[in-house]
Amino acid sequence: MNIRLVIFDFDGTMADTRHNIVITMQRVMRELGMPVADEETCASTIGLPLKDCFRKIFPELTDDGAEHCAETYRQIFFANAKSLVPNMFPNVQETIDLLHVHRIKMAIASSRTSASLLGFIREMNLTDKIAMVVGSDEVSRHKPDPEPVNVILSALDVPASETLVVGDMPVDILMGSAAGTHTCAVTYGNASAEELTAAGADFLVDDMAKLVGLVLPDNRNH
């Protein structure tokens, strides 16, 4: 592969946000008087737009009801944003730094809103290394649709054949495949290796450091 661009998912790929997402979802359910789903059920929705997360758990929700849940989530999240800044997974910072040194373009495609993403990117001091962020509010069709990737490819002027999409959920892999990119799944996130393989991931890694060997073959020992 000749990779010039890496598009990362955020939740479960770059940052360990599982606990923060679950507790915020459960707070929404309590506040709105809904049955409180357990951790595994909440975590199984990570990667979907907020409305779809709540609709997956509560299929009987109307569109307005799901939007109310999503808006309540946003209110709780932004009211507690400073205390909810997640930790990056091991070797994510080091990998991003190395790719940046080697002039690999990097972007993020996430089901989070762009405001949430940009806040985290600032807190993590990654603003100068991430060329572009595409949140759920910036596209009309969400993962697994290829639109988020296609928007980035067009803006950064890199062909799909020279792009690697990296994510922890099947929707990330399906999104990249639909856009014609190479795909790499991380197995330390919110989906199993079996689920990611079934989604058609070209590569699986259990540590972000192993991404270096895929993108920069001559630096695989760094």
Domain boundaries, the chain: 5-16+87-219, 18-83
Type of residue at 166: V
Dist CA 106 CA 40 (whole Å): 31
Question: Bridge-partner residues for 108, per DSSP?
Answer: 8, 133
* Cβ-based burial of 174 (10 A; exposed 0-12, middle 13-18, buried ≥19): buried
CATH fold for the domain made of 18-83: DNA polymerase; domain 1 (1.10.150)
Q: CA-based diameter of the chain, in Å?
A: 55
Question: Residue 55, SS3?
Answer: helix
Question: Bridge-partner residues for 158, per DSSP?
Answer: none
> Do 174 and 11 touch, CB atoms closer than 8 A?
no
Q: Give the pLDDT score at 219.
A: 66
Q: Please give the chain's pLDDT, 222 residues, in tens.
A: 899 999 999 999 999 989 889 999 999 999 999 999 999 999 999 888 899 999 999 999 999 999 999 999 999 988 876 677 788 999 999 999 999 999 999 999 999 889 889 988 998 899 999 999 999 999 999 999 999 999 999 999 999 999 999 999 999 999 999 999 999 999 999 899 999 999 999 999 999 999 999 999 876 544
> What class is the 5-16+87-219 domain?
alpha beta
Selection from 75, 11, 14 nearest residue 44 by Cα: 11
- CA dist 86 → 80, 98, 121 (Å): 12, 22, 11
Q: Which residue has the tokens 């946003």?
A: 74
What phi and psi values does residue 3 have, to the nearest 5 degrees? Answer: -95, 125
Selection from 214, 222, 215, 196 nearest residue 105 by Cα: 215
Q: Give the pLDDT score at 46.
A: 87
Question: Residue 74, SS3?
Answer: helix
